[in-house]
Structures are given as C-alpha cells and as structure tokens.
C-alpha cells in the first residue's frame, strides 16, 4: 500500500480508485534514489520530511487500554463479563431480573448504563443482586473507563458473572470495548425482522443474539425464522436463542450458554 | 455515531504525540477510517473543528482516508473486499459474509509546523 496517499493495490469488483496519483512512488533500491527514509518512512512533495509525525494509533486507543485493564482484572477473578446491547425497550432489564432469579446461587453483579435515573439498578437490587448504575448524562454508550470505575464499587467474587447492561442504542456501543468476554444482543420480536439488516454493526459484533418476547410472536405477525436468517446474514457465526423473559420459555438454554462460557473461561485460566 | 467522542480520542492522541515530539502547532491530521467503522465523515469534520479549539491542532486540516471493507465468505472460503455489509460475495455470490476488516479508526500521521 502507498503510505503517502493510503491507496492500496487491491481492487474491489465494480470499484476502482478514482483519485489521480499525483505524487511519485520512488522505490529505486538499486538506482540510489531513496525517498521516504525519514522517521515516518514517507515522503510528500512540498512538505519537508521532518514535519510529518507518523502516529498509526487507534482513535479509541485510550478506551481500549482501559478495556484491557478491565479484561485482565476479570481474568484474574475467573469472572465472565457480558456486554448486553439492544435498542431501548427490548426487555433487557426484565430478562436480567429473570436470569438472576434463575441463576440462584451463582455469584454475579450488574452494571447498569442509562442516560438518566437509577430505575434499572433499583430493579436489579430488588432481586438481591449487587448493582451499580452509571448515568452517562448526554452520552450514548458506556466506555472502558466508566466500567472500570463501576467495577471498583462491586467487589466481584471469584467465578462471578458480570452483566453490563449498556445504554439502549444499537449504534454507538458497538465500537467501545468494555473488557467483556462477549457482546450479547437482545432483540425483541416486536422490533421487526429487518432490525439486524438496519443495524448490522451491532449484530456483527455480537456473539449471541437473544430473540426475546417470543410469547408475543403470535400476536404481531412476525416470522421468527426470518429474524434468524437476517441475523446470520450479517453475522454467520452468531449463536441465536429464542426466549421469553416473561414466560420463562427458552431461558434454560440461555442459562446453559452462560454456564458453559463461564466454565470455558475457568478452564482456559487453569490451562495457562 | 459519537463523532464528538471520536474527536476527543483524536485530540488525546495528538496531544500525546505533540508532547513526545515537542511540537507546538499541528497543521494537518490524517486519519484512516474503515468502510464499516460507522463514522459519518461530515459529522467527524464538524466535530473536529469544535473539539480541536484550544489545542495544538486548532485550525488544523482533517484529512480522511478510506480503508476498504473486508469479509470472509463462508461459502467459498475466500477473503473478499466489499462495499456494503449486505452485498453478496463478489467471488461466488454467496450471502454469508463475516466482516474481517474495515472497522479501523486510526490517526495515521500529523503534519507539524
């Protein structure tokens, strides 16, 4: 790839690089013309070499560093962390309350993200579980830094499950790593079969999709198979479970998924 | 999405680099944005001007370089470049594509005065 203009030598069918190459590429290794041997390894006509600082740093590098610290803390504790993402109203909090109830003695804690109110954390605490609410104010997503602070308040026991309920938003939280083991997308049957196609980034980033409120399916003329087809179109590797937090349908398979992933994590740690 | 937060990330990267290289004025910033990074370029440009105020990069030009979307085709097993997440595989026409690249958001380099 040309590092001056960023263009590559690869081609996409039906797409060609339209911009003109008005700078020269000097690769005369034997003819002794060596441009681009300054610190940055690039040369741009009209720009003195010393003035370009090569950076190559991810814009979210700071967030990723916080996320890496969280991930290491969780690994030390053999704890499984899940980042629950969905649109508002998919039933995340109800699903979590039911999950906590069914998990019985499993140590766990919850981090709740919302723009305003402590309603969700209050609902979780009512089940007897530990919960910390993060109010993002105007923010549209949780980030690694916020979650690290929240973990400071939770005093997670070994082998715990940590559920992080992200801000209800199918766009922004896709890009912000929190240090989780997996993103779990929750999609309710009332949202429309094409939701995964409309917001592909989030469903492509998720390991598991919970198709929630399946008890309502007979009343809203939806095709559950089409939901699954569309999820696999944006993410061929995604696991999908049909559940209803209200009736409990399919919840045993979700619990099994959680326990399997927690056990896998402990095994990995033991193997190190 | 969140272009303002991204610009705050860009500002942090610039300020770290400016300190490390003893630079007091940055005149151009080049960022690489993948096709699937979910970045709205006009929004990023707008937010950039606002967020850089009062920093070494105030008034700097933001240049955005596109990186292609890449995916692994589960039907033919090839890695292909795609323009759209939902398009079929350009090699075999298959519909099961797993994105493998194109979500990059990187500060590539800076031009210092």
Q: Which domains does chain A have, with CATH numbers?
A: 1-56 (no CATH), 61-271 (3.40.50.300)
Asked if residue B74 has pLDDT above 60, the reply is yes
Beta-sheet strands, E only, within chain A: 52-58, 80-86, 108-114, 130-135, 161-165, 182-188, 208-212, 239-242
Cβ distance of A57 and B13 shorter than 8 Å: yes
Contacts of A59 in chain B (CB under 8 A): 6, 9-10, 13, 31, 105-107
DSSP state of A224: H
Nearest to B67 by CA among B27, B39, B42: B39
- Across chain B, mean pLDDT equals 93
Q: How far apart are CA B105 and CA B66, in angstroms?
A: 10
- B103 to chain A, minimum CA–CA distance in Å? 9
- pTM for the predicted model, two decimal places: 0.81
The closest CB to that of A233, out of B10, B83, B95, belongs to B95
Domain ranges, ordered by start, for chain B: 3-112
Nearest to A26 by CA among A4, A48, A46, A7: A4
Cβ distance of A6 and B65 shorter than 8 Å: yes
Which helix or strand (DSSP H or E) is residue B112 part of?
A: strand B105-112
**Predicted pLDDT of residue A5:** 32
**Predicted pLDDT of residue A270:** 76
Cβ distance of A14 and B68 shorter than 8 Å: no
**Predicted pLDDT of residue A92:** 94
**Predicted pLDDT of residue B98:** 87
pLDDT by position in tens, chain A (length 272): 333 333 333 332 333 333 443 444 444 344 444 444 444 445 555 555 548 999 999 999 989 999 999 999 999 999 999 999 999 999 999 999 999 999 999 999 999 999 899 999 999 999 999 999 999 887 888 999 999 999 999 999 999 999 999 999 998 888 899 999 999 999 999 999 999 999 998 999 999 999 999 999 999 999 999 999 999 999 999 999 999 999 999 999 999 999 999 999 888 777 77
Which tens digit of pLDDT belongs to each residue from B14-50? Answer: 999 999 999 999 999 999 999 988 888 999 999 999 9
Q: How far apart are CA B3 and CA B45, in angstroms?
A: 9
Q: How far apart are CA B9 and CA B15, in angstroms?
A: 10
Q: How far apart are CA A135 and CA A30, in angstroms?
A: 61
Cβ distance of B98 and A236 shorter than 8 Å: yes
Structure tokens at A256: 């099994």
**Predicted pLDDT of residue A239:** 98
- B65 to chain A, minimum CA–CA distance in Å? 6
Q: How far apart are CA B8 and CA A67, in angstroms?
A: 17
Angle between helices A61-76 and A144-152 (to 10 degrees): 30
The domain B3-112 is classified under which CATH number: 3.40.30.10, 3.30.2320.80, 3.10.590.10, 3.40.50.300?
A: 3.30.2320.80
Residue A19 burial (CB < 10 Å; 0-12/13-18/19+)? exposed
Chain A residues with a Cβ under 8 Å from any Cβ in chain B: 5-6, 8, 10-15, 40, 42, 47, 51-63, 139-141, 143, 171-172, 174-175, 197, 200-201, 204, 232-237
DSSP state of B60: P
Nearest to A139 by CA among A188, A111, A176: A176
Please list, in sequence order, all residues whose beta carbon lies within 8 angstroms of the beta carbon of residue A116, skipping any fewer than 6 positions away. A135, A137
Cβ distance of B106 and A235 shorter than 8 Å: no
Structure tokens at A255: 């619990």
């Amino acid at each position: 790839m040309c590092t001056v203009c960023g263009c590559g030598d690869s081609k996409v069918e039906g797409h060609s690089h339209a911009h003109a190459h008005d700078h020269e590429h000097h690769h005369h290794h034997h003819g002794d013309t060596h441009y681009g041997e300054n610190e940055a390894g690039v040369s741009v006509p009209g720009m003195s070499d010393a003035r370009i600082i090569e950076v190559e740093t991810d814009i979210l590098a700071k967030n990723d560093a916080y996320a890496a610290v969280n991930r290491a803390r969780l690994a030390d504790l053999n704890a499984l962390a899940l980042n629950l993402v969905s649109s508002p109203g998919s039933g995340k909090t109800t699903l979590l309350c039911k999950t906590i109830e069914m998990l019985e003695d499993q140590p766990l804690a919850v981090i709740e993200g919302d723009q305003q109110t402590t309603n969700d954390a209050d609902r979780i605490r009512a089940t007897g579980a530990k919960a910390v609410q993060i109010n993002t104010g105007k923010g549209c997503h949780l980030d690694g830094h916020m979650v690290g602070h929240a973990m400071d308040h939770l005093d997670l026991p070994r082998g715990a499950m940590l559920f992080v309920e992200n801000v209800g938003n199918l766009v922004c939280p896709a890009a912000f790593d929190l240090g989780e083991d997996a993103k779990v997308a929750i999609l309710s049957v009332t949202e429309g079969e094409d939701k995964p196609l409309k917001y592909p980034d989030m469903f492509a980033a998720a390991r598991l999709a919970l198709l929630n409120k399946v008890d309502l399916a007979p009343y809203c003329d939806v095709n559950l198979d089409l939901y699954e087809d569309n999820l696999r179109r944006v993410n061929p590797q995604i696991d999908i479970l049909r559940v209803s937090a209200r009736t409990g349908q399919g919840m045993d398979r979700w619990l099994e998924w959680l326990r399997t992933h927690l056990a896998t994590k402990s095994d990995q740690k033991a193997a190190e | 999405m969140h272009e303002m937060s991204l610009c705050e990330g860009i500002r942090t990267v610039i300020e770290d680099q400016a300190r490390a290289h003893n630079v007091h004025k940055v005149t151009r910033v080049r960022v690489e944005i993948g096709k699937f990074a979910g970045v709205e370029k006009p929004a990023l440009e707008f937010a950039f001007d606002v967020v850089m105020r009062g920093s070494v990069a105030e008034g700097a030009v933001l240049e955005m370089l596109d990186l292609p979307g890449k995916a692994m085709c589960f039907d033919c097993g090839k890695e292909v470049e795609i323009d759209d997440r939902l398009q079929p595989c350009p090699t075999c026409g298959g519909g099961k594509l797993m994105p493998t690249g194109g979500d990059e958001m990187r500060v590539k380099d800076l031009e210092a005065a």
